Every structure is written in structure tokens, then in C-alpha cells.
Structure 1
Amino acid sequence: MESIVEVIARALLAFAIMMIITRILGKQTIAQMTYHDFVAAITLGALTANLAFNNMAKISHMLVTLLTFGGIAYLLMILSLKNRKMRKWFSGQPTVVIQEGRILEDNMRKQKLSLDTLNQELRERNIFNIEEVQYAVLELNGEISVLRKPQFLPVTRGDLKLKMGKRQIFPIELIMDGQIIQSNLRQHSLTIEWLLSQVGKKGLSVEEVNYAVISSNGQIYFDPYEDRMSNPIDKE
């Protein structure tokens, strides 16, 4: 019975301490978790679990450890707020993955971001055609912020002079990472010869194409590996 009471007391104490530490660190830490926030959260979670359930660990030692790590997390947060260089080091910084409609493959590789993930993030923002994107930025919390091209900003159908009965299709990916997606070609009765002719019209070869897709409006979007930009944005 005494062991059960001890476990309950430990659990209540652990919960109370974590609530206090969380309140001290503030809402931003919860809403927008950065590198050091993630490390602190994992560490504090493990220590809290030990405090609650590990009867072999002394409560006093666990309390000191918890408060120490909580203090470190708070100190790093204060340093990040006061010093931009420290903030970049501890929290990281946003990374541009699409610039002026061009996918920046080097930045995506640095952030371990695949084209599939990028497309998923865009679809979650109701963007099914990648050519609509002027800029896309991978934020510190892993979310992607998107700026549409001016002609694709939200307006009425009348402003865009769209025909109400015009049929739209789901985007068909043709090339990804320089490789032809043959299953998509077969599924939509498209031939490799047709695709090669479309690539050739752009003065490219398949190996030079990072990404190609038939957009929902029926147009083909190509993104070559060579972005032909004199100053691509790289915030690493």
C-alpha cells in the first residue's frame, strides 16, 4: 500500500513540476518547437517519467535534475531572444525551398525534405499546382509557409474569367528526382515518347529535370535541376 501511495505522490509531484516549467517557458515553446525546445522536451519528459515511476531514484536527485534542465531550457530561450546569432545556433532559421517558382534542390536536401513531402504540405494549403507558388519557406516548426504568384492569389472566378464548366484534373506526376514515373504514365495512357517530346520542347533531357507534373489545369510544369539563378537564397 505504501508503494502505491508513493507512486501516486511521485506522479502528482512530477505533473506539478512539469506544469510549472511549461508555464515558465511560455506558450511559444509549445506552439513552435525549435531544436533546443525539442531536446529539452524529450529530456524533461524522460526525467519526469523517472520521477513518477522509478522508485529506486531519489526524489531529491530527480528534482535537482529536473530543475537544472528546466533552467537550461529557460536560459537558452532568454539568450535566443536577446542575441540573433545565438538564436540561429540554438533555434535554427527558416529555409527557402521554392524561390521565384523554382525548387531549390540543395536547400531541400539539406533539410531532408522530399518532393513528396513538399507536395503534401502544399496540398494541405489547397495548392495542387506547384507552379502557383512564388516562394515557399520551411519554418522552424517544420511547417511550410507559401506565397502564391500574383495571378494565383485568391480572387473570384469572374475576376479570373474562368469558365464555370471547365473540368479540372488531379495533378499527374511525370518525373521526380530525374526519374520517369512510368506507373503514372501507364495509368493515364501516356507514352514515354510523348513525355520525351515534351521535355525536348523545353530544351532539356529527363536527367536534367528535377520534377515534372501535369497540373490540374492540364498544363505541364517542369522544374530543372539547373535553376539558372545568380543568387539563390541559402540561409544555412
Structure 2
Amino acid sequence: METIITTSIRTLLGFFILFLLTRGLGKKQLSQMTFFTYITGIALGNIAGDMIVHREIRIIDGATALILWAVLTFLLEFISLKSSRARNLLDGEPSIVIKNGKILEKAMASNKLNMDDLSMLLRAKNIFSVSEVDYAILEPNGQLSVLKKIELEPVTKKDAQITASPRQYLPTELIVDGKVVKKNLSEQNLNEEWLNQQLFAKGIHKIGDVFYAELQSDGSIYIDKKTDNE
């Protein structure tokens, strides 16, 4: 019983310390995953895991290691934010692997990228032939940015000389699982009275009858009623 209690306490402490530190490090850890941020995430997880499982490691020692690693990571991220040279050193630079439709073999080799890898990255962009590509850039996080050849780019409304109406709203969730998302209403300068009027106009008299409602860019509302799913 004592073992279970001790493990539970160490787990809770490790969990909350790791949660606070990862929140402090910011969203870049997920949104712009580079090799360094990937290793940082693994290291923090390993330190927390060792602190929980290995009894010979004191909690204070484990917490110190976690905090120090997070502080060093934050310091490096701050330096890279202020210095482009440091940013290039830490995160690396984008590499052009296709230029003017020509595959750059040296760039491919220096990035340890083979044709199978390149084809896979292109397919992820819905491109199934290298002949469609004008430029392809390998980003520091391993993702591929692609610029298609001009004749293969999709036609825009501007190209077709179609007048585009400006967006009135940003598409936003208004009702989720029968509950009003008040924060989203407020951000769009709308209120529940307006929402009730829109629902009433569509023959809906109770918000609870709606499973999902979304405000469209033109001011209309997309509605999915609960009864539709039964």
C-alpha cells in the first residue's frame, strides 16, 4: 500500500511539473517541430519518467533536472528569437530541393533525402509527379513546401475576373452538442438573442435540439439537428 501511495504522489508531482513546463515552453514545441524541439520533448518525458519510476532518484533532484532543462530550452529559444544567426544554427535553414523543375541532387544528398522520401512528401501535397513542380523547399521541421508550375496552379477568382464579396465573419462554432459557445458569439459581436432568432427562422425553437451550429463567412448558419442523427 505504501508503495502505491508513494508512486501515486511521485506521478502526480511529475505530471504537474511537466505540464507547467511544457505550457511555459510555448506552442512551438508542437506547431514547428524541429529536431531540437523533438529531442527536448523526449528528454523532458524521460526525466519525468525516471523521477516517477526510480525511487533512488529524489523528487527534488528530478524536479531540478526538469526545470533546468526547460530553462535552458527557453533560453535557447529566446536567443534564436532575437538572433537570425542563432536561429539558423539551432533550427537550420530551408533547402531548395527542386528548382525550376530540376531536382537538385546535391541538396537532396546533403539533407539525406532520397527519391522515395521526396515522392512521399510530394504525395502528401497531392502531387503525384515531379513534373508538376516548379520549386520544392525542405523546411527545417522536415515538411515540404511546394510551388507548382504556373500552368498547373488552380485558377483563382481574380484570374477568372470574378468579383469576390468580402467575408463578413470568420467561420466559427456557435453550438456544440446542444450548448452555446458564448465565447465565440462574443468574439463575433453577436449574442444569444440573435442566435435564437436565426434558429427560429429555420423552425428550431430550442437550442437543445441542435447538435452543431456553425457561423458561415457570409453570416448564414450551418445547422445539424440532433434528430437528424437518430
Q: What range is the shorter-chain TM-score in?
A: 0.5 to 0.7
- CA apart distance, 1:96: 0.9
1:49-128 pair list within 5 angstroms? 49-128=49-128
Separation in 1, partners of 2:12, 2:139 = 36
Q: Is the 8 A contact 2:29 2:38 kept in 1?
A: no
Q: Is the 8 A contact 1:25 1:74 kept in 2?
A: yes
Instruction: Describe the SS at the equivalent of 2:62.
Output: helix
- CA apart distance, 1:36: 2.1
The amino acid of 1:22's aligned partner reads: T
Q: Is the 8 A contact 2:44 2:66 kept in 1?
A: yes
Separation in 1, partners of 2:155, 2:123 = 19
Further displaced range: 78-87 or 26-35: 26-35
Residue of structure 1 equivalent to 2:30: 30
1:129-140 pair list within 5 angstroms? 129-140=129-140
Q: Is 1:19 the equivalent of 2:5?
A: no
- Structure 2: give runs of 5+ residues left out of the alignment: 160-230
- CA apart distance, 1:35: 2.8
Separation in 2, partners of 1:13, 1:151 = 58
Q: Is the 8 A contact 1:34 1:140 kept in 2?
A: yes
- Give the TM-score normalised by structure 2: 0.66
Separation in 2, partners of 1:115, 1:13 = 47
The amino acid of 1:133's aligned partner reads: V
- Structure 1: give runs of 5+ residues left out of the alignment: 160-236
Separation in 2, partners of 1:97, 1:29 = 26
- CA apart distance, 1:33: 1.4
Between the two proteins, the alignment pairs up a number of residues equal to: 157
Q: Which has the higher contact order (CA 8 A, sep 6+)?
A: 1
Q: Is 1:4 the equivalent of 2:10?
A: no
The amino acid of 2:148's aligned partner reads: R
Q: Is the 8 A contact 2:48 2:66 kept in 1?
A: yes
Q: Give the share of equivalent positions with the same residue, in percent.
A: 39
Name the Cα RMSD after superposition. Answer: 1.5
Instruction: Describe the SS at the equivalent of 1:113.
Output: coil
The amino acid of 1:122's aligned partner reads: L
- CA apart distance, 1:24: 0.8
The amino acid of 2:105's aligned partner reads: E
- Give the TM-score normalised by structure 1: 0.64
Separation in 2, partners of 1:20, 1:32 = 19
- CA apart distance, 1:29: 1.7
Q: Is the 8 A contact 1:95 1:138 kept in 2?
A: yes
Q: Is the 8 A contact 1:101 1:134 kept in 2?
A: yes
Separation in 2, partners of 1:121, 1:34 = 17
Instruction: Describe the SS at the equivalent of 2:140.
Output: coil
- CA apart distance, 1:118: 0.5
